[in-house]
Chains A and B, each alone.
Chain A
Amino acid sequence: MTLDLEMAEIAKVFFQESREGLDIMESGLLGLGAAADSENINTIFRAAHSIKGGSATFGFAAVAEFTHGVETLLDEMRNGVRPVTAEAIQTLLQACDCLREMLAATEAEQPLDQVRIASLNSDIGHILGERSNEAPVPAPIAGDGRGTPLNAELGMAHGPTGWRIVFEPVADLLRLRNEPTRMFAELRRLGAVVAHADVSRLPQLDALDPESCYLSWNIEITGRIPRPKLDEIFDWVDSGCRLEFTPTGEAEPAAPVPAAKPVQPPQVSKASPAQRAAGDSGSIRVATEKVDDIINLVGELLITQSMLSGFADGIDANDLDRLRQGLAQLARNTRELQESVMQIRMLPISFAFNRFPRIVHDLSRKLAKKVELKLVGEGTELDKTVLEKINDPLVHLVRNALDHGLETPERRLAAGKPETGTLELAAFHEGGNIIIEVRDDGAGLNKVRILQKARERGLVAPDQELTDEQIDNLIFMPGFSTAEQISDVSGRGVGMDVVRRNINDLGGHVQISSREGLGSTIRIRLPLTLAILDGQLVRVGKEIYIISLLAIVETIQVARERVNTLVGRTEVFRLRDEYLPVVKLCDQFGIEPDSRSAEDGLLVVVESDGKRAGVLVDDLLAQQQVVIKSLEANFKSVPGVAGATILGDGTVALIIDVPGLIRSVVRQGAGAVAAHAA
Chain B
Amino acid sequence: MSTAKANAGADRSEQYLTFMLAGEEYGVDILRVQEIKGWDKVTRIPHTPDYVLGVINLRGAVVPILDLRRRFGLEAIAFGPTTVVIVVRVMSGRDERTVGVVVDAVSEVYNVDAADTKPPPDVCGSVDTVFVKALATIEEKMLILLDIDRLIGNSIADELPPGVAAA
Task: Give Cα A303–Cα B44 distance, bound, in whole angstroms.
Answer: 20
- Please, which residues of chain A bring their CB within 8 A of the CB of B46? 588-591, 638-641
Do the beta carbons of A629 and B43 come within 8 Å of each other?
no
Contact digits for B96-126, partner A, Cβ 8 Å, 1 yes 0 no: 0111000000000000000000000000000
A649 to chain B, nearest CB (A): 10
Task: Give Cα A105–Cα B156 distance, bound, in whole angstroms.
Answer: 37
* 6 A-B pairs closest in CB distance: A589-B46, A652-B43, A300-B60, A635-B64, A634-B97, A644-B62
Task: Give Cα A303–Cα B97 distance, bound, in whole angstroms.
Answer: 23
Contact digits for B36-52, partner A, Cβ 8 Å, 1 yes 0 no: 00000111111110001
Nearest residue (CB) in B for A542 is B44
Given A644-B55, A651-B41, A638-B97 contact (CB < 8 Å)? no
The answer to the question of A495 belonging to the interface, with a C-beta cut-off of 8 Å to chain B, is no
**Residue of A588, A631, A639 touching B55 (CB-CB under 8 A):** A631
Task: Give Cα A639–Cα B45 distance, bound, in whole angstroms.
Answer: 10
The answer to the question of A327 belonging to the interface, with a C-beta cut-off of 8 Å to chain B, is no
A590, A630, A641, A651, most chain B CB atoms within 10 A: A651
The answer to the question of A636 belonging to the interface, with a C-beta cut-off of 8 Å to chain B, is yes
The answer to the question of B59 belonging to the interface, with a C-beta cut-off of 8 Å to chain A, is yes
Task: Give Cα A636–Cα B92 distance, bound, in whole angstroms.
Answer: 11
A661 to chain B, nearest CB (A): 11
A550 to chain B, nearest CB (A): 22
**Residue of B52, B62, B99 touching A652 (CB-CB under 8 A):** B62
Nearest residue (CB) in A for B63 is A634
A543 to chain B, nearest CB (A): 7
B97 to chain A, nearest CB (A): 5
Do the beta carbons of A651 and B156 come within 8 Å of each other?
no
Do the beta carbons of A629 and B61 come within 8 Å of each other?
yes
Given A634-B97, A636-B156, A654-B43 contact (CB < 8 Å)? yes
B48, B57, B59, most chain A CB atoms within 10 A: B57
Task: Give Cα A232–Cα B55 distance, bound, in whole angstroms.
Answer: 65
Nearest residue (CB) in A for B55 is A652
- Please, which residues of chain A bring their CB within 8 A of the CB of B45? 631, 635, 638, 641, 654
B44, B46, B56, B97, most chain A CB atoms within 10 A: B46
The answer to the question of A299 belonging to the interface, with a C-beta cut-off of 8 Å to chain B, is yes
B8 to chain A, nearest CB (A): 25
Which B60-75 residues have a C-beta within 8 angstroms of A?
A: 60-64
**Residue of A633, A636, A651, A652 touching B158 (CB-CB under 8 A):** A636
Nearest residue (CB) in A for B90 is A634
With A296-B60, A633-B61, A634-B63 known, 7 other A-B pairs at CB within 8 A are A300-B60, A629-B60, A631-B45, A633-B62, A634-B99, A639-B46, A640-B46
The answer to the question of A646 belonging to the interface, with a C-beta cut-off of 8 Å to chain B, is yes
- Please, which residues of chain A bring their CB within 8 A of the CB of B56? 652
B-side residues, CB < 8 A to A, are: 41-48, 52, 54-57, 59-64, 97-99, 156-158
The answer to the question of A506 belonging to the interface, with a C-beta cut-off of 8 Å to chain B, is no
Task: Give Cα A646–Cα B43 distance, bound, in whole angstroms.
Answer: 10
**Residue of A543, A589, A590, A630 touching B62 (CB-CB under 8 A):** A630
Do the beta carbons of A633 and B43 come within 8 Å of each other?
no
Nearest residue (CB) in A for B64 is A635
Do the beta carbons of A651 and B43 come within 8 Å of each other?
yes
- Please, which residues of chain A bring their CB within 8 A of the CB of B157? 636
Place the interface of chain A in its size category.
20 to 34
**Residue of A296, A297, A629, A639 touching B47 (CB-CB under 8 A):** A639
Nearest residue (CB) in B for A635 is B64
The answer to the question of A341 belonging to the interface, with a C-beta cut-off of 8 Å to chain B, is no
Task: Give Cα A590–Cα B48 distance, bound, in whole angstroms.
Answer: 10
The answer to the question of A323 belonging to the interface, with a C-beta cut-off of 8 Å to chain B, is no
- Please, which residues of chain B bring their CB within 8 A of the CB of A588? 46
- Please, which residues of chain A bring their CB within 8 A of the CB of B57? 646, 650-652
Which A542-596 residues have a C-beta within 8 angstroms of B?
A: 543, 588-591
The answer to the question of A30 belonging to the interface, with a C-beta cut-off of 8 Å to chain B, is no
Contact digits for A294-330, partner B, Cβ 8 Å, 1 yes 0 no: 0011011001000000000000000000000000000
B31 to chain A, nearest CB (A): 19
Contact digits for A608-637, partner B, Cβ 8 Å, 1 yes 0 no: 000000000000000000000111011110
Do the beta carbons of B55 and A635 come within 8 Å of each other?
yes
Nearest residue (CB) in A for B41 is A651
Nearest residue (CB) in A for B99 is A634
The answer to the question of A117 belonging to the interface, with a C-beta cut-off of 8 Å to chain B, is no
Do the beta carbons of B62 and A629 come within 8 Å of each other?
yes
A643 to chain B, nearest CB (A): 8
Do the beta carbons of B60 and A631 come within 8 Å of each other?
no
Task: Give Cα A633–Cα B97 distance, bound, in whole angstroms.
Answer: 7
The answer to the question of A230 belonging to the interface, with a C-beta cut-off of 8 Å to chain B, is no
A390 to chain B, nearest CB (A): 27
Task: Give Cα A590–Cα B60 distance, bound, in whole angstroms.
Answer: 26
- Please, which residues of chain A bring their CB within 8 A of the CB of B43? 543, 644, 651-654
Task: Give Cα A543–Cα B54 distance, bound, in whole angstroms.
Answer: 12
Task: Give Cα A463–Cα B93 distance, bound, in whole angstroms.
Answer: 55
A90 to chain B, nearest CB (A): 45
B45, B48, B157, most chain A CB atoms within 10 A: B45
Nearest residue (CB) in B for A645 is B62
- Please, which residues of chain A bring their CB within 8 A of the CB of B47? 589, 638-640
Task: Give Cα A634–Cα B54 distance, bound, in whole angstroms.
Answer: 12
- Please, which residues of chain B bring their CB within 8 A of the CB of A297? 60
B133 to chain A, nearest CB (A): 22
Do the beta carbons of A634 and B60 come within 8 Å of each other?
no
Task: Give Cα A641–Cα B98 distance, bound, in whole angstroms.
Answer: 20
Task: Give Cα A646–Cα B61 distance, bound, in whole angstroms.
Answer: 9
Task: Give Cα A296–Cα B64 distance, bound, in whole angstroms.
Answer: 18
Task: Give Cα A343–Cα B20 distance, bound, in whole angstroms.
Answer: 49
- Please, which residues of chain B bring their CB within 8 A of the CB of A639? 46-47
Task: Give Cα A635–Cα B56 distance, bound, in whole angstroms.
Answer: 12
Do the beta carbons of A635 and B41 come within 8 Å of each other?
no
Task: Give Cα A633–Cα B89 distance, bound, in whole angstroms.
Answer: 12
Do the beta carbons of B62 and A631 come within 8 Å of each other?
yes
- Please, which residues of chain B bring their CB within 8 A of the CB of A633? 61-62, 97
A-B contact pairs, 13 of them (CB 8 A): A296-B60, A300-B59, A300-B60, A303-B60, A589-B44, A630-B62, A631-B45, A638-B46, A638-B48, A639-B46, A641-B45, A646-B62, A652-B43
Given A590-B46, A644-B55, A652-B43, A635-B156 contact (CB < 8 Å)? yes
Which A474-500 residues have a C-beta within 8 angstroms of B?
A: none
- Please, which residues of chain A bring their CB within 8 A of the CB of B60? 296-297, 299-300, 303, 629, 646
B29 to chain A, nearest CB (A): 19
Task: Give Cα A543–Cα B156 distance, bound, in whole angstroms.
Answer: 23
Task: Give Cα A638–Cα B55 distance, bound, in whole angstroms.
Answer: 12
Task: Give Cα A640–Cα B47 distance, bound, in whole angstroms.
Answer: 9
B64 to chain A, nearest CB (A): 4
Task: Give Cα A636–Cα B42 distance, bound, in whole angstroms.
Answer: 17
- Please, which residues of chain B bring their CB within 8 A of the CB of A589? 44, 46-47
A429 to chain B, nearest CB (A): 29
- Please, which residues of chain B bring their CB within 8 A of the CB of A646? 57, 60, 62
Do the beta carbons of B44 and A634 come within 8 Å of each other?
no
A530 to chain B, nearest CB (A): 16
Do the beta carbons of A635 and B97 come within 8 Å of each other?
yes
Task: Give Cα A170–Cα B61 distance, bound, in whole angstroms.
Answer: 52
